[in-house]
Amino acid sequence: MRVALLLPLLSLLLLQSSTCEASQVAKAAEPPPFFLQDTSDGLCLSGAVFKRCAVDTLWYVTGSPGEYQIHLRPAEEGGREQCLAKKTCTDSVKPEEVKLSKCAHCGSKKWNILGDAQQGYVLSFDEGKTCLVREPKTNKALTVSCETTEYSYTPLQLNFASKDDIKTMSSPGARLVTAANSGQIKEVKRALKDDVDVNSVDWDQLTPLIAASQGGHIDVVKHLVNNGANVDAVDKDGISSLMEASIAGHLKVVQFLVDKGANVNLKAGSDVNAVWLAAGEGKADVLQYLIKKDADVTAKRMDGIGALASAAVAGHEDVVKVLLKNKDVDVNESDNEGLTPVMNVCEHGSVAVLKMLVKAGGDVNAVSVNGFTALIVASAAGNLDQVKFLLESGAEVDAMHEEGVTALMYAAASGHLEVVELLVSKGAEVDKRHSNGGTALMECAASASEGNVKVVEYLIKKGADHAVVDNDGVTPLMSAASQGQCKVVDLLLEMEKKKSKNVKPHVDLAATSGGTALMFASGAGKDECVKSLLAAGADLNMLVEAQPEYLDKLAKSIEAGDETEAHVDGINSLMIAAAAGHIGVCKLLIDAGADVLAKDEEDKSALAAAVKGNFGEVAALLVDNGADANDAYVDEEGVEHNLLHDSIIVENHDFSKLLIKNGADLSHIDESGVTTLLQASHRGMTEVVALLLEYDKAKTIDVNAANEDGISALIAAASEGHSEIVKSLLGADADVNAKDKDQTNALMAAAVRGHGEICSDLISAGAEINAQNVDGHSAIMFAYNGFAQVQTLWSRYQSYLEESNEQDDEANSKIIKEALANHTAVVTLLTKSGADLTLKDNEGHTAADFDYHPEVDGDALEQAKVEEKRKQRTKKKKKKKGDKDSEL
């Protein structure tokens, strides 16, 4: 059991409660109630057990993930508050029954709900130590260790109930149905005394009598019938009380209902009757009784399946026995697909039932609409004893499917050796071909089932042709290679060696699709198969070249919507392996001399294929082995990409470096004017920047190139605080006074973010201290402003701590204090370096107006209360200055 991968059901449960309608804002809304439903049979968790979903199986949740309390919604107003609880509160993970208890119980406080609407939800307790499951084949809810392998987890659907749903479920009639279903005779009696209609229906059109019959509560059934319940009422699916009792095998209820005049031949919406349902569920005693009461045994479901077939497919021996005694039952009846009870039981595997059917005259050689025979069904399922019995009873061993597929082929494809041996010993033709030209050996090689090595071995021993070629030009060797069945590949190669000195022609055969065994193995990604084929001399550099008949076939299936991808010629094994990300195979092929630079007819290389599949390791391997680092690739939208640029955008340091070292174009500029250098500088890829500059011997990189907003590599790195990159760029003669479109320079960008070391480097490199941007702001103003921002953050943090009674988080405090210190250092540095404090910006403000008060700063903790006015102004300034933090 694995729940670790499921997502926590964040706050869905709690959030919903806050979205109350406007008119109700004053009234606290009740958290939304929901059902926890087991979709396998639709029953709902009600506490210790699963039962029919009703108003008393609704839950709501309080708390937070990992500490949820799961409350049973009281069915009555003012009802007792109860919570779902783990029975013991020790951390015992032994299976225990779940219970309902007071919400103060220690076992009710640590629930979590994990999952999603698709997979369903799992309730877990105490940090996922135990999980709630339904005991197999019962209605009991248990908590078991989430790690256990003994139980599989029970995914539950979480269905919210609306007010209207609850209103319907709370009606007296619906409550009577619920009471009848759980056999609460007292409640039923009380309700009837209170004049609740004995034939009232709930939301599923269920009447109290149908519900009681389903539950097998004979006392309730009697009381209801004696008080006027309609014995032939049906629910929304047309299911009557008698049918429900028959399904569940409640013989006494069945007898009572029939005595009271229930119609034994009513048919449900799907055309089945009580007999059919009892047969399918294996309720032989009910069936016998109904037959005695003249029930119709010949009813068929809408799909043509009769009672006998329905019992046979489930292997219900005693039911089959009862039915076969009845003269109206036809042992050869077939459903709408021509399947007979004999075929049905061959799917199940019961020999006893098969024998009974055959003894009663069941046809062992009937063929279904799709060409199945009983022998085929039993062989495909590997039911050896049934195969034996069928053959002894005259089944034709080579009877064929309309596509010519025999029992032997099915058994071989499923890897059932014993069945294969039996069929061959009874004369099955080993090399018989189906309509596509394949044989049992081919089918076996083409399937991934275990045990097929032995089957292939056996078939070859019995004379099967290992080198047969089907109508698509496919050989067993290709089939096995495509499935990664390497032992079969070896076996087939061995056979070929025995036959001819030179195995290469066979190994290099191409199917009509143009694929060779090596290509198929490369696509399957099995190193062992590739090794064997290479050792047998497979041609590494063969290229796909499809035959016209293949292209015709493909065109037809694209037209029919079965295929979506058009065919491409010129592909080699390496491209196939690269496209699928099989690094091991790629290595083998490259080591054996594969052409790394080859391109297909669409001009795509193996490298392009690896990049398209996002297989970084494979791409690196290819570049390392001579692939063209400037291999432009074009994506689905037709946009041409530059590998190095893309690699930098995803911050793949290693691959970027590899590309640079292998001759990638260093001066690529994307459509918004961003150079490779600018991209790497912005992202702080220090080594990549250094390498770009180092490998640019031809000086193709413009160090000062800026993007549309005028941001240069230096401004970006300075703003983001990448000090090593700033040093590299300055070393490469970047213009220290370059300005963006607002005339903001690198020093200003570094100053506002408090990057002291960078400011110092820029100043040493000749940055103009008192330059002003379009707003008239200078570096020192930026520095003051940056400080004020941190200060605001600090005061907000302080008041947050006060309001929430949180303990001071040391780590947070430390970072903010450090930032304050960094900003202070920048202000000091700029002042010392000759920043003009009297400069005015366009609004006439000087640096001091940006609210930096060095005298009070000594103890930043004292600064918690900052005047409202200052805050307002800071806000305004902040907005105006904008922020260099934005993406490039």
Ligand X SMILES: *[C@@H]1O[C@H](CO)[C@@H](O)[C@H](O)[C@H]1NC(C)=O
Count of chain residues binding ligand X (CB under 6 A): 11
CB of 365: closest distance to ligand X in angstroms?
A: 7
211 or 747: whose CB is closer to ligand X? 747
215 or 756: whose CB is closer to ligand X? 756
What string of DSSP letters covers 635-675?
Answer: -TT--EE-HHHHHHHTT-HHHHHHHHHTT--TT-B-TTS-B
CB of 339: closest distance to ligand X in angstroms?
A: 14
CB of 396: closest distance to ligand X in angstroms?
A: 12
Interaction residues for ligand X, span 718-757 (CB under 6 A): 754, 756-757
CB of 537: closest distance to ligand X in angstroms?
A: 55
361 or 766: whose CB is closer to ligand X? 361
Instruction: For 173, list phi and psi in degrees, rounded to 5.
Output: -65, -45
Q: Which stretch binds ligand X (CB under 6 A): 134-142, 318-326, 658-666, 812-820?
A: 812-820
C-alpha separations of 517 from 78, 469, 480, 481, 540 in Å = 74, 13, 8, 6, 11
CB of 810: closest distance to ligand X in angstroms?
A: 14
277 or 331: whose CB is closer to ligand X? 331
Q: Which stretch binds ligand X (CB under 6 A): 558-566, 591-599, 625-633, 813-821?
A: 813-821
393 or 833: whose CB is closer to ligand X? 393
Q: Which stretch binds ligand X (CB under 6 A): 82-90, 470-478, 815-823, 878-886?
A: 815-823
Q: Which of 16, 157, 332, 831 binds ligand X (CB under 6 A)?
A: 332
CB of 825: closest distance to ligand X in angstroms?
A: 8
Q: What CA–CA distance (Å, rounded) separates 408 from 426?
A: 11
Q: Where are the alpha helices (DSSP H) in 360-451?
A: 374-381, 384-392, 407-413, 417-425, 440-445
For residue 275, what is the DSSP state?
Answer: H
Interaction residues for ligand X, span 755-774 (CB under 6 A): 756-757
Q: Which of 100, 509, 793, 815 binds ligand X (CB under 6 A)?
A: 815
Cβ count within 10 A of residue 137: 6
SS3 36: strand
Q: Which of 447, 822, 824, 874 binds ligand X (CB under 6 A)?
A: 822
What is the per-residue binding string for ligand X in 171-210, x denoting contact by CB under 6 A? ----------------------------------------
What string of DSSP letters covers 541-559?
Answer: T------HHHHHHHHHHHH
**CA neighbor of 518 nearest in space, from 506, 503, 528, 508:** 508
Q: Taking CB positions, which residue lies at the least distance from ligand X?
A: 361
**Partners of 572 in the β-ladder:** none
Q: Look up residue 165 and give its amino acid.
A: D
CB of 802: closest distance to ligand X in angstroms?
A: 23
Task: Report if residue 333 touches ligand X, rule: CB under 6 A.
Answer: no
CB of 454: closest distance to ligand X in angstroms?
A: 36
CB of 724: closest distance to ligand X in angstroms?
A: 11
289 or 787: whose CB is closer to ligand X? 787
The kind and range of the H/E element at 697 are: none
CB of 283: closest distance to ligand X in angstroms?
A: 25
**CA neighbor of 413 nearest in space, from 374, 455, 371:** 455
329 or 519: whose CB is closer to ligand X? 329
62 or 812: whose CB is closer to ligand X? 812
Q: Is the backbone of residue 228 left (phi > 0), alpha (psi -120 to 50) or beta?
A: left
For 771, the token pair is 């330059």
Q: Identify whether the C-beta of residue 735 lies closer than 8 Å to the C-beta of residue 719.
A: no
The gap between the terminal CA atoms of the chain, to the nearest Å, is: 46
Q: Which of 819, 826, 827, 829 binds ligand X (CB under 6 A)?
A: 819
The C-alpha R_g of the chain, in whole angstroms, comes to: 39
Could you give the count of Cα atoms lying within 13 Å of 493 in the half-sphere of its Cβ?
Answer: 24
114 or 360: whose CB is closer to ligand X? 360
Q: Which residue has the tokens 């004979």?
A: 218
674 or 750: whose CB is closer to ligand X? 750
CB of 782: closest distance to ligand X in angstroms?
A: 15
Q: Which residue has the tokens 């026995």?
A: 321
Q: What CA–CA distance (Å, rounded) separates 340 from 313?
A: 10
CB of 370: closest distance to ligand X in angstroms?
A: 19
For 469, the token pair is 């070629």
Could you give the count of Cα atoms lying within 13 Å of 544 in the half-sphere of its Cβ?
Answer: 21
Give the max Cα distance, the chain. 114
Interaction residues for ligand X, span 348-377 (CB under 6 A): 361, 363
CB of 681: closest distance to ligand X in angstroms?
A: 17
Q: Which of 403, 591, 818, 883 binds ligand X (CB under 6 A)?
A: 818
Taken in order 222, 226, 232, 235, the sign of the CA dihedral is: negative
User: Applying CB under 6 A, which residues contact ligand X?
Assistant: 331-332, 361, 363, 754, 756-757, 815, 818-819, 822
